[in-house]
Amino acid sequence: MTTLAEKVYNAMDEHGARDYSNFPTPPENRTPGNPQDVRDLTDYEMELQDWGLFYGIAWALARAEDPFEPFREVGARAREAAEEAWVRDHLPGPVPPIGQPPEWFRALKEAQKAGAV
Instruction: Tell me which DSSP letter residue 104 carries.
Output: H
Residue 46: per-residue pLDDT: 72
Residue 90: per-residue pLDDT: 74
* CA separation for the pair 37, 39 (Å, rounded): 5
Q: CA dist 53 to 11, 12, 17, 83, 91, Å? A: 10, 8, 9, 12, 17
Helix axes 43-65, 71-90, angle to 10 degrees: 130
Supply the pTM of this predicted model. Answer: 0.64
* CA separation for the pair 4, 62 (Å, rounded): 7
Residue 7: per-residue pLDDT: 92
Domain boundaries, the chain: 4-114
Q: Going from the first residue of the chain to its last (117 residues), give the mean pLDDT of each consecutive group of 10, the final group possibly shorter.
A: 89 63 54 62 72 92 96 94 84 60 65 71
* CA separation for the pair 117, 108 (Å, rounded): 8
